[in-house]
Amino acid sequence: MKKYKYFAVLSALVALFSFSSCESDYWKKGTLSLQFDLDTNNKGYARVARIVYIDEIPEFNPYRETLVGMTTKDTWIEISNLVYGDFIDRIDIDVAGVGVYSIGPISIRNDVDYITIDESSYRGYFNFMNDVNYRLYRDGRINLAITIYSNVYDGGPVYFDIRNIFDLQMRD
């Protein structure tokens, strides 16, 4: 009977070590930066659409690592190549499965050629982008479209730089 007890204990230990994972989770910072140049038509309208993939985060290598969690830490948009007197009636950021976030109106009334859109300047922007980033994490890609309605009739272009900073939970 003792022989079977030792065999049972030994089998349990082998099973325990066999099923325990050698993988370990760790966190690292990641940044997703997207640049768009919107050429406006003679009515000040422009639209750009593209698919954004999760592997566009340079700190994430899907061939070496598994992404098991993602937390948005900061997000903002910088819109540049603007001049005094430019007026943006509305900017729509449309992400399939999340919705549309509208920004505007924006008047350029000082001597800067750019504006920054973030949580401090537009209420709810962080929450919207947090939902977008969760969709990116869950699906591995998002369909993103930006539409601008403005008085920028000269063809622009209007430059958009969308930045997202994450904490990425990784597993080797």
Q: Is the pLDDT of residue 151 over 60?
A: yes
Q: What is the pLDDT of residues 62-102, one digit of tens each?
A: 777 788 888 888 999 999 988 888 889 999 999 999 999 99
Q: Is the pLDDT of residue 55 over 80?
A: yes
Has residue 117 been placed in a domain? yes
Has residue 10 been placed in a domain? no
Which among 54-68, 108-122, 142-156 has the top mean pLDDT?
142-156
Has residue 7 been placed in a domain? no
Q: Give the 3-state DSSP-derived string for the chain, with helices as H, strands as E and coil as C.
A: CHHHHHHHHHHHHHHHHHHCCCCCEEEEEEEEEEEEEECCCCCCEEEEEEEEEHHHCCCCCCCCCEEEEEEEEEEEEEEECCCCCCEEEEEEEEECCCEEEEECCEECCCCCCEEEECCCCCCCHHHHHHHHHHHHHHHCEEEEEEEEEECCCCCCCEEEEEEEEEEEEEEC
Structural domain total, the chain:
1
pLDDT recorded at residue 20: 47
Has residue 16 been placed in a domain? no
Q: How far apart are CA 88 and CA 94, in angstroms?
A: 17
Q: What is the mean pLDDT of residues 117-130?
A: 88
**What does the block give as tokens for 69?**
């969690």
Q: Is the pLDDT of residue 125 over 50?
A: yes
Has residue 37 been placed in a domain? yes
In this structure, what CATH number is given to the domain that contains residue 123? Answer: 2.60.120
The whole-model pTM stands at 0.78
Mean of pLDDT over the chain? 84
Q: Is the pLDDT of residue 18 over 50?
A: no
Q: What percent of the chain has pLDDT over 70?
A: 86
Has residue 8 been placed in a domain? no
Least confident stretch, 62-66, 133-137, 161-165 = 62-66
Expressed as residue numbers, the domain containing 110 is 24-171
Has residue 161 been placed in a domain? yes
Has residue 80 been placed in a domain? yes
In degrees and rounded to multiples of 5, residue 97 shows phi and psi of 85, -10
pLDDT recorded at residue 16: 46
